[in-house]
Amino acid sequence: MNTFNCTEIDETVGLIAGGGLLPVEFVTHAKNIGIKKIVAVGFENCTSRDVIDNVSIYEQIGVGQLGKMIKIFTSNGVKKVLMLGSLAPKLTISNIKFDFRMVILAAKTRDRRADSVLGAIANE
């Protein structure tokens, strides 16, 4: 996986925000160092209100909506994206609806381990 290095504080940064404190800490730190625009996608009953209220743009998506997520980021000029936070196992397997792009990605992924799937998403 690539390392994340934000060299331009005026560049737009993307965030896939799961639960927990890590996404909140990132948003706070990014604002403190002067990053002006954070575009975040998150998940119902998962992403903290502290993230939602403190990013430039927030969109809620369903787990498995890879195409929608990519469209949100590209339409907002995002070139760098971080995945931070956790997803409850129930959230990932209950009521999951894969969009076409996610179905194609899943078919190309060697195995179904979390690190393999997340790595494949990151490479998209």
**Could you give all domains of the chain from N- to C-terminal order, each with its CATH number?**
12-123 (3.40.50.20)
Q: Residue 99 in contact with residue 62, Cβ under 8 Å?
A: no
Per-residue pLDDT of the chain in tens (124 residues, 90 and over written 9)? 445 555 556 689 999 999 999 999 999 999 999 898 999 999 888 899 999 999 999 999 987 788 899 999 999 999 889 989 987 765 555 556 766 677 776 677 776 665 566 666 667 6
Q: What is the DSSP letter of 46?
A: T
CA distance 27 to 52: 10
State the pLDDT at residue 120: 67
10 Å Cβ neighbour count for 108? Answer: 8
Grouping H, G, I as helix, E, B as strand and the rest as coil, residue 3 is: coil
pLDDT at 90: 58
CB 46 within 8 A of CB 92: no
SS3 category, 58:
strand
- pLDDT score of 86: 87
